[in-house]
């Protein structure tokens, strides 16, 4: 499986902070207090994009292809006709999957299309051997993943089966991010599985009626998630980010004038021993594993960037009301995590600060990132993202999947070769083990550079947890293997140069050839 979306970060802590915030709002509630009422059904003539959709639409205009994709290998008798009908039922139920965006005065204007049949495209790979056909199938899948959508005409999703044999196929589902986020996929897989099973057994697909549609949330957010309505949250973020800058890692090549989106990835892992240490340290310090991990990652970025003030982004689910839980849509918001290390704290001190700042960030998570951009108005640069260049996320192992009767399913790890940030680090938790993928801008960085950065992250984390009271500046970035290599690289045959020290040799040349250009 490959998606360009990221897992929802630190969900339990975020929700706890949000609940605390909502309780406090309820205690101070006035009849006109914003954010305390349920989301109402909007006037059907009120078609507006959410803040997130508007920004996604703008990003699509600049660099097409903001897609999220899943590839699943299905073994068994797949009925593509039933699958198409099942997906049509899900799209009929969730209007956001039938919404297109026409341009009006330089802005997106959403329009809901009528429910319509969905056809599952069937592709046949080439090749005479099983291995050749499989490689051909993967290339077909990559092409489907990379192909941009026309948001003005739709649809905003495509589904295809790449037929390896009679009962062996790659199912490729691609959706544009303007319609879905990571949490939406849980809803989509569940409903698609139930709809397929019902149709395959001759039953009607039964589902609880949705109280609202995504368009209702979009209209509500335009009224209740504005800088004016969330003035306190806006003030928090303005103060927290005062003097901060978008941290950049040193690049292997000059930054292009316009980002191309060319990307690559490296994988890494935190083994069970280190993962258990992360979980135990977090419990002892009343923090979450995410807080421990992002603190260590920020400290490593600070070393590589030669900066004591680091700002990275992290995604958060953004489903701020219970009626949004079962909706498909693009709700994800971005929080900025600023880490200041000027006084060289210990890792224990850094965790305490990170915990305080993260809980405050969660309590101020309703302000849309787009509204923050509008308020701060950072200088626009087509070679950079505004406010941050590095994204970091932690999510749990995905347990929701497509379950079709009579078929075995296996997710396939496949990437579309696009990068949305200088660096995007996504960790997934599997009990005490953490697996990670670092997606990076290949125009800027070499693979060796990113591999070394992830090794430094892992080594620093292990060393910091072993002695968390040490000042961060004394915590090594290298593991034993790299340290031994570096030491051995400096050992060799002694060579004696005659004629004096280097400054003396330079001076002598300057005297002898003072008129010659250096």
Give the DSSP letter string of 428-454.
Answer: EEETTEEEEEEEEETTT--HHHHHHHH
Instruction: Answer whether 126's CB lies under 8 Å from 133's CB.
Output: yes
Residues in the chain: 518
Top CATH class, 37-217: alpha beta
Q: What are the CA-CA distances from residue 342 to residues 35, 300, 310, 346, 350 (Å)?
A: 38, 14, 11, 12, 11
What is the rounded CA–CA span in Å between residue 452 and residue 340?
Answer: 23
Q: Quick one: how far is CA 37 from the chain centroid?
A: 30
Reported as a single tens digit per residue, the pLDDT across 76-92 is: 999 999 999 999 999 99
What is the rounded CA–CA span in Å between residue 299 and residue 307?
Answer: 9
CB under 8 Å to 335, separation ≥6 — which residues? 313, 314, 315, 316, 361, 362, 365, 369
State the distance between the two ends of the chain, measured CA to CA, in whole angstroms.
Answer: 56
Q: Which helix (H) or strand (E) holds 336?
A: strand 333-340
What is the rounded CA–CA span in Å between residue 136 and residue 509?
Answer: 63
User: Strands 157-165, 121-123: parallel, antiparallel or unpaired by DSSP?
Assistant: parallel
Reported as a single tens digit per residue, the pLDDT across 425-460 is: 999 999 899 999 999 999 999 999 999 999 999 999
Q: In tens digits, what is the pLDDT along the chain, a chain of 518 residues?
A: 344 444 555 655 555 555 555 444 444 433 344 444 589 998 877 789 999 999 999 989 988 989 999 999 999 999 999 999 999 999 999 999 999 999 999 999 999 999 999 999 999 999 999 999 999 999 999 999 999 999 999 999 999 999 999 999 999 999 999 999 988 999 999 999 999 999 999 999 999 899 999 999 999 999 888 888 899 999 999 999 999 989 999 999 999 999 888 999 999 999 999 999 999 999 999 999 999 999 999 999 999 999 999 999 999 988 888 899 999 999 999 999 999 999 999 999 999 999 999 999 999 999 999 889 988 988 888 889 899 999 999 988 765 689 999 999 999 988 777 888 999 999 999 989 999 999 999 999 999 999 999 999 999 999 999 999 999 999 999 888 888 888 877 767 777 777 788 888 888 888 888 888 77
Q: What are the CA-CA distances from residue 137 to residues 80, 162, 164, 171, 459 (Å)?
A: 17, 6, 7, 10, 38
**Where, residue-wise, is CATH 3.30.559.10 in the chain?**
37-217
Which of these CATH numbers, 3.50.50.60, 3.30.559.30, 2.40.50.140, 3.40.50.300, describes 226-487?
Answer: 3.30.559.30
What is the rounded CA–CA span in Å between residue 104 and residue 400?
Answer: 38
Q: What is the pLDDT of residue 228?
A: 86
User: Strands 390-396, 423-430: parallel, antiparallel or unpaired by DSSP?
Assistant: parallel
Whose CA is closest to 187, among 218, 210, 204, 171?
Answer: 210
What is the rounded CA–CA span in Å between residue 88 and residue 90?
Answer: 5
Whose CA is closest to 292, among 277, 312, 304, 314?
Answer: 277
**Where, residue-wise, is CATH 3.30.559.30 in the chain?**
226-487
What is the rounded CA–CA span in Å between residue 196 and residue 409?
Answer: 14
DSSP codes joined into one string, 295-326: HHHHHHHHHHHT-SEEEEEEEE----SGGGTT
User: Strands 121-123, 67-75: parallel, antiparallel or unpaired by DSSP?
Assistant: unpaired
What is the rounded CA–CA span in Å between residue 279 and residue 431?
Answer: 9
Whose CA is closest to 299, among 463, 483, 479, 484?
Answer: 463
């Amino acid at each position: 499986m490959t998606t360009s979306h990221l897992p929802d970060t630190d969900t339990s802590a975020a929700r706890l902070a949000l609940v605390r915030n909502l309780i406090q709002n309820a205690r101070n509630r006035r009849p006109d207090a914003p954010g305390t009422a349920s989301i109402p059904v909007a006037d059907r003539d009120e078609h507006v994009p959410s803040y997130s959709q508007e920004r996604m639409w703008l990003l699509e205009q600049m660099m097409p292809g903001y897609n999220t994709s899943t590839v699943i290998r299905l073994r068994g008798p797949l009925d593509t006709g039933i699958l198409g009908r099942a997906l049509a039922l899900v799209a009929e139920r969730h209007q956001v999957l039938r919404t297109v965006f026409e341009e009006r005065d330089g802005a997106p204007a959403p329009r809901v299309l009528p429910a319509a049949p969905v056809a599952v495209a069937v592709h046949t790979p080439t090749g005479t051997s099983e291995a050749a056909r499989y490689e051909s199938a993967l290339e077909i899948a990559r092409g489907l993943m990379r192909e941009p959508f026309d948001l003005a005409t739709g649809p905003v999703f495509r589904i295809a089966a790449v037929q390896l044999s009679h009962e062996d196929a790659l199912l490729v589902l691609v959706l544009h991010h303007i319609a879905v986020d990571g949490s939406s996929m849980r809803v989509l897989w569940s409903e698609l599985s139930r709809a397929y099973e019902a149709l395959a057994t001759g039953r009607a697909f039964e589902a609880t009626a949705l109280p609202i549609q995504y368009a209702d949330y979009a209209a509500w957010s335009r009224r209740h998630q504005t800088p004016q309505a969330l003035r306190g949250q806006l003030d928090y973020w303005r103060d927290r980010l005062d003097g901060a800058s978008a941290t950049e890692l040193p690049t292997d090549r000059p930054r292009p004038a316009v980002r191309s989106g060319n990307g690559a990835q490296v994988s890494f892992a935190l083994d069970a021993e280190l993962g258990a240490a992360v979980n135990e340290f977090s419990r002892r310090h009343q923090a979450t594993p995410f807080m421990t991990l992002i603190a260590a990652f920020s400290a490593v970025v600070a070393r590589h960037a030669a900066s004591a003030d680091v700002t990275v982004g992290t995604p958060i689910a953004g489903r701020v009301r219970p009626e949004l839980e079962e909706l498909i849509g693009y709700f994800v918001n971005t929080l900025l995590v600023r880490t200041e290390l000027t006084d060289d704290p210990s890792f224990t001190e850094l965790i305490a600060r990170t915990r305080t700042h993260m809980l405050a960030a969660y309590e101020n998570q309703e302000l849309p990132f787009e509204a923050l951009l509008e308020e701060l108005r950072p200088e626009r640069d087509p070679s950079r993202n505004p406010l941050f260049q590095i994204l970091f996320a932690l999510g749990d192992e995905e347990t929701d999947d497509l379950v079709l009767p009579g078929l075995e399913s296996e997710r396939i790890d496949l990437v579309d070769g696009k990068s949305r940030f200088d660096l995007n680090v996504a960790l997934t938790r599997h009990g005490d083990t953490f697996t990670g993928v670092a997606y990076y801008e290949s125009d800027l960085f070499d693979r060796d550079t990113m591999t070394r950065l992830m090794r430094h992250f892992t080594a620093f984390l292990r060393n910091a947890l072993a002695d968390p009271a040490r000042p961060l500046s004394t915590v090594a970035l290298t593991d034993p293997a790299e340290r031994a290599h570096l030491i051995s690289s400096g050992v060799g045959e002694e060579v004696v140069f005659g004629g004096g020290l280097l400054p003396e040799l330079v001076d002598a040349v300057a005297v002898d050839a003072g008129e010659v250009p250096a």
